[in-house]
Structure formats: C-alpha cells, structure tokens
Structure 1
Amino acid sequence: MTTQVPSGSSALTLPVLPPDTDLQTGERVGELIYRTLRDRIISGELRPGARLSVPALAEEFRVSRSPVRDAVIRLVQDDLAREEMNRGAVVARIEGEELVSLYEAREALEWAVARLAAERYTPALRRRLLALLTEHREVAEAGDFARHIELDAAFHREIRQAAQSPVLIRMLDGVQGRVMIAMRSTSLTGGMVQAVAEHQAIFEALGSGDPDAAGEAARAHIRRLKELLRAAC
C-alpha cells in the first residue's frame, strides 16, 4: 500500500508507515528522500553544481525540512554533494586527480568482487550479463554515450551483487555513484567498443569459474580507464 499526495504534485509516493511513525519527520521518509535525490544525482537529472535547497525540496516533497536536511547531509557525507559558501549544498563536481583516485580504489575493488562472483557464478547471472552485453554492443556501435554509461554501470552492478559481499558492495556503490557523476560531465568516452570487448573478456572469465582470470580481467579493464583519465589530467 502507498500514500500519495494529490494529483498535480511532484511529491514522493510514500509507503504506508506504521501508526507510530511521524510522516513529517519519520526516519523512513528521510530514507526515501535520500534515495530519490541520490538516484537523481547518479542518473544525471541533477547535474554537478545544481543546488540542493532544503526549503525548495521540502516544498516539492510536501514534508517538513527536517528529513530533507538529513537527506542532504547524508549526500554530503557520501561525497555526492558539497557545501559551498553562500550557496549551501550543491551536487558535487568530480574531476581530475579526484577521479583518478576513485579509479585507483575501483581497480582493487572490482578485482575483489570479480573473484568472488566467479566462485558464485550461476546460470541466472550468465543470462543477465549476456543480455546486457548484447544490448551494450549495439549501443556502442551506435555511439550512444548516455546509454553506454547506464549499461556499463549495470554490468558491473550485476557482478558485485553476485559477489554476495555486503561490505564490498557498499564500498563499490559509493565509488560507482561518484564515478557516474563524473562520467556524465566528461568528454572522455573511454572507448565504448573497447569497453564492451573488455566486458566480454570479464564475462568469459567469470564463466570459466576461474577467480584469478576473472579478477585480472576486471582489473585490466579498470586500469585502462584509469590510465586514460590520468593522461587527460
């Protein structure tokens, strides 16, 4: 069941909460607002530099300012937003050496989750990855960079979920969210067709059940992108 605000509003559709939960300040509402804003940032709907005005967002979501303020604070803590003088919180800009540093961390983390995913490989995972690869190949050949970013993220998300390691998943989710912000505002494509070929190599290594091969394929893929970014700095 859900609770909806009147039609014509852009407010959130909120789940029906237990009777002892305050809709205006309840933690669950704050979590929904946080996830909604995070999704908007990662999808590119909220661009780097966009203001996260607590009063404006509270009015949009039809809630008090308290849960919105808490959500914005969490975004700042996650490095998805930053506080700027005289502007308040804005969506983070991630570029240059900071982006290279993210890829250094990502190289190690993707290596680890690929190894685990190879050990826990299933036919269902194979089907999902193959479907993503098939579409990604078509998108890369068509030169659709926006969709390329989405499919690239989806491919890696499937692998880290398959690793079944909550700690690694949380760490990579944080890194990947910031990478998505950066890639939507860069002119560096990283070679879409080459990226698909590297995903194919990861896919084959995972299917072989060899953790070492899967880890090295994932690491080589991220390392190439890291070096491209470093050269562009």
Structure 2
Amino acid sequence: MSTAAPVPATTPDTPLGERLVPGAAGALAAYAVVVVVHLVAHLADAEAVANATQWFAVPWLLLALVVQTGLRSRLSRFAAGGLMWSWLGDTAPDLVPESVAFIVLMASFLVAHVLFVAGFWPWRRESLLRSRWAWGYGALAVVMVVVCAPRAGALTLGIAGYAAALALMASLSAGVHRLAGVGGALFLVSDGLIAVDEFVPSVAVPLPGFWVMATYLSAVLLLTLGVVRRLGSRA
C-alpha cells in the first residue's frame, strides 16, 4: 500500500510557506510608504511628486513577489508579468506624445490583464466565472463600452476588448484567493473611473486622480498578496 500523500488538483504550484520572508516584507513596507506619499501628493495638488512616486510604486510589489516566491511557479511568473506590464502602464505614457499616451496606457494594461488571466486560469473552477458575480462584471464591462463609445470613436473596439479582458481577470482572480478577488474588483472600479473621467466629461468625478490611484494601487497590492497566499496555502 502506498503511503504517498495525494497531490491536490486545485493547487498545481508548490507551497512556499505562509509567512513573508524579510526581504518581501521590507519591499511591501517600502510600497506602503510610496503609496502614502503618492496619494497625499494628489490631495495636495503636488503633481510633480504624484508623477514621480507613480513610477516607483509597483516595482516594490514586483520585488516582494520575486523575493517571496523566487518565481519558481507558473502562477508567480504570470503574476510578475502582470505587475511588470502594469508598471509599464504607469510609466510609458509619460514617455510618448500626449496624442498616443492613452493608447499606450490601455495597451500596457491590456497585456497585464491577459497575463493575469493566464496565471489565474488553473483556478477557474474556484472563481466567479459560474456565478452571478461574473454576469455583474460582464454587465459593468458592457456599460463601460457603451459609456465610452460616443467619444471614443475608433478606440471603441479596443475598449471593448480591454473591458472583456478586465472583467475576465476580475472574475478569475477570486479563484486564486479572496484577497486577489477583492483586488480584481478594485481594478474594475479603478478602470471604470478612468473611463468616466476620460470619455464622459459631463460627469464630474471628485478628486479623480486620487480615487483612480487609490483603487488601482490597492488592487495590485491585493492581487499580489492573493498570489502569495495561494502559493503559501497547504492542502
């Protein structure tokens, strides 16, 4: 009779332990400091400080993920790719002409969402894909496209593809861990605020920069922590 423990079908990646290693904890602490400074800068209308700190936020999350996981698993590698392209979405628009900055931003985050989807896909049966929440996320994606379409013009098809990828990522994220699920929902909120601010000038979002970044930076943090918790879970 074999005494080998069965391999759980829903956890294909190797457990890494529940506790954060010191380097990862330090990187998360640095992330928290940068985020606080960034959000305070938005409230204080310190645009230069807000722009500078936006460049240096997500790399701390990426460092924490690398140090904690060593990128030894499929999930951690795809999550790291999602964070890398999110960081490009934070920085690359500042380096291109203003006329194409929004397209570069949208393209960068589209790749990020696709990578997150690929990483989260093995846990689709534990996710929200078969729940009413998935219909809600899908409805929000449709609303986002409808709201943007009158002013988006040729970008409408691109926005439709982006919204679909975003809704799928948000639905799948809950299968990884409940923290990641909240992160996916916040990502949907953040991008919805961007859509309204960019394409619906008749709706005045109070402190749009602050709320967009507060929800986005919370989203990527929770996605990262959810990935770490999933990899640290034990059957």
Q: TM-score, normalised by structure 1?
A: 0.31
Structure 1 or 2: more helix by fraction:
2
Q: Which of these two proteins has the greater Rg computed from alpha carbons?
A: 1
Structure 1 or 2: more strand by fraction:
1
